[in-house]
C-alpha cells in the first residue's frame, strides 16, 4: 500500500506497522545441532548460495536502512512515514535473525565472517562516498530483486520452501513474507523525493549485473569448503532449480523498465496471506 493510495482517508495520529500492512515481527530463532550442513534440498550448491546471501544481509539491510533514513526528514506524508518506520523495523529484525543463522554456518566451518566483513567494507564505502541519491536508488533496485526472489517462493513456486529443512525453513519463509510486505516502500520514497525514473532504470541494469556476478562467486567460495564442489550430484540437482528461478521471474524483472511501473502491480496478496497462515500462524486478510 503506497502513501498516495490512501490520501484523503482519515489518518490516526501515529500509524503503526500493523496499520499499513508492514508489521514488525520479532522471531528470536535459534539454531542447534538439528540443523544439517546442507539444509536446502540436501544440496551443497543451493545451501551455499543461500548461506552466502544470508551472510550479506546484516550489512546489506543496515545499508538499506541508512539510505532511506537519509530522506526520512523530508517525508511529509504520515502514511509513507509510517511505512518507512515499519520498513526500518522489519529490516533491522532481518539483520538480527540472519546473524543467528550466519553463526550456525560459521560453526560448521564455513567462512561466513569473511563475507560479512568484506561486504561491510563495501557498505561503509557507500555510506562515506556515495551521494544519498545513489544510495537510495541502489536500495530500490536491491529491494526489487529481493522482492522478486521472495515472490518466487510465495507465489510462483511455493513448494520450493518445502525443500528447506524444517529447522531453517521459517527464517526464509518469514523473510520472503516481509520482503513482499514492504516491497514498495523504498520505491515510493524514491519516486516522491527524487523521481528520476531513467536514473533508476540505469541503476537496475547495473544492480542485476552485479547480483548475477557476485551471488554465484560468493556461493562458489563457500562451496569450496563443503567437500561437494566436485560432486556431479551437487550440480545436477542444484543448477536446474536456479535456472527455473531466473526463467520464471524474467518477465517481472522486465516490468521494472515500464514507464508506469509500481511494485504493487505484482500483486500476490492471496498467496501472501496463505504464506502468513502457513508459516506464521497469521490468519485473515492483512491491512495494506
pLDDT at residue 6 in the model: 46
- Is the per-residue pLDDT at 12 higher than 70? no
Q: What is the pLDDT of residues 39-59, one digit of tens each?
A: 999 999 999 999 999 999 999
Q: Which of 219, 251, 225, 252 has the alpha carbon at shortest distance from 238?
A: 219
Separation of alpha carbons 152 and 148, rounded Å? 6
DSSP H or E run through 47? helix 44-69
The pLDDT tens digits of the residues spanning 256-288 come to 999 999 999 999 999 999 999 999 999 866 665
Sort 232 into a burial class: Cβ within 10 Å, 0-12 / 13-18 / 19+: exposed
pTM for the full predicted model: 0.92
Per-residue pLDDT, 64:
97
d(Cα 139, Cα 65) in Å, to the nearest integer?
A: 9
pLDDT at position 112, please? 97
Confidence class of residue 8 from pLDDT cuts 50, 70 and 90?
A: low
Residue 237 Cα distances to 40, 52, 108, 112, 232, angstroms: 11, 19, 22, 24, 9
Q: How confident is the prediction for the chain on average, in pLDDT?
A: 93
**Distant-in-sequence, close-in-space partners of 287: CB < 8 Å, separation ≥ 6:** 1, 18, 19, 20, 21
Contact 227, 140 (CB under 8 A): no
What is the pLDDT, as a whole number, of residue 2?
44
Q: Residue 113 and residue 267: Cα distance in Å, rounded? A: 36
What local confidence, expressed as pLDDT, does residue 4 receive?
Answer: 43
pLDDT digits (tens, 9 = 90+) for 153-197: 999 999 999 999 999 999 999 999 999 999 999 999 999 999 999
Confidence of residue 5 (pLDDT cuts 50, 70, 90): very low
pLDDT of residue 14: 81
SS (HEC) of 93-153:
HHHHHHHHHHHHHHHCCCCHHHHHHHHHHHHHHHHHHCCHHHHHHHHHHHHHHHHHHHHHH
pLDDT at residue number 111: 97
The pLDDT of residue 11 is above 80: no
Report whether pLDDT(1) > 50.
no
**Whether the Cβ atoms of residue 170 and residue 279 lie closer than 8 Å to each other:** yes
Using the predicted structure, report yes or no on whether residue 125 has a pLDDT greater than 90.
yes
- Averaged over 95-122, what is the pLDDT? 96
The cell numbers describing 67, all together, are 539510505
Q: What is the rounded average pLDDT of the residues 57-85?
A: 96
Instruction: Centre a 10 Å sphere on the Cβ of residue 265 and count the other Cβ atoms it contains.
Output: 11
CB 180 within 8 A of CB 272: yes
DSSP-derived 3-state class of residue 287: coil
Q: What is the pLDDT of residues 214-257, one digit of tens each?
A: 999 999 999 999 999 999 999 999 999 999 999 999 999 999 99
Kindly list the distances between the CA atom of residue 23 and the CA atoms of 16, 17, 18, 166, 174, in Å, as whole numbers in the listed order.
Answer: 8, 4, 4, 24, 12
Amino acid at each position: 500500500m503506497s502513501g498516495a493510495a490512501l490520501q484523503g482517508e482519515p489518518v490516526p495520529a501515529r500509524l503503526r506497522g500493523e496499520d499499513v500492512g508492514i508489521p514488525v515481527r520479532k522471531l528470536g530463532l535459534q539454531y542447534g545441532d538439528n540443523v544439517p550442513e546442507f539444509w536446502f534440498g540436501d544440496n551443497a550448491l543451493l545451501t551455499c548460495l543461500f548461506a552466502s546471501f544470508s551472510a550479506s544481509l546484516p550489512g546489506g539491510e543496515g545499508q538499506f536502512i541508512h539510505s532511506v533514513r537519509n530522506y526520512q526528514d523530508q517525508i511529509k506524508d504520515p502514511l509513507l512515514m509510517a511505512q518507512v518506520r515499519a520498513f526500518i523495523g522489519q529490516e533491522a529484525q532481518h539483520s538480527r535473525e540472519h546473524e543467528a543463522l550466519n553463526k550456525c554456518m560459521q560453526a560448521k566451518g564455513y567462512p561466513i565472517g569473511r563475507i560479512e566483513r568484506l561486504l561491510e567494507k563495501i557498505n561503509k564505502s557507500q555510506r562515506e562516498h556515495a551521494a544519498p541519491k545513489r544510495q537510495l536508488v541502489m536500495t530500490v533496485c536491491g529491494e526489487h530483486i529481493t522482492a522478486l526472489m521472495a515472490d518466487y517462493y510465495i507465489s510462483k513456486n511455493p513448494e520450493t520452501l518445502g525443500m528447506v529443512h524444517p529447522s531453517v525453513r521459517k527464517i526464509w519463509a518469514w523473510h520472503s513474507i516481509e520482503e513482499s510486505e514492504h516491497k514498495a516502500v523504498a520505491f515510493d520514497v524514491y519516486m516522491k523525493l527524487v523521481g528520476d525514473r531513467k536514473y533508476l532504470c540505469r541503476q537496475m541494469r547495473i544492480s542485476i549485473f552485479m547480483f548475477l556476478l557476485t551471488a554465484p562467486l560468493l556461493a562458489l567460495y563457500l562451496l569450496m569448503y563443503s567437500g561437494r564442489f566436485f560432486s556431479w550430484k551437487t550440480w545436477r540437482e542444484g543448477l536446474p532449480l536456479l535456472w527455473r528461478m531466473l526463467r520464471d521471474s524474467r518477465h517481472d524483472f522486465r516490468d521494472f523498465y515500464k514507464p508506469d511501473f509500481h511494485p504493487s502491480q505484482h500483486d500476490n496478496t492471496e498467496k501472501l496471506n496463505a504464506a502468513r497462515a502457513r508459516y506464521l500462524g497469521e490468519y485473515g486478510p492483512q491491512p495494506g
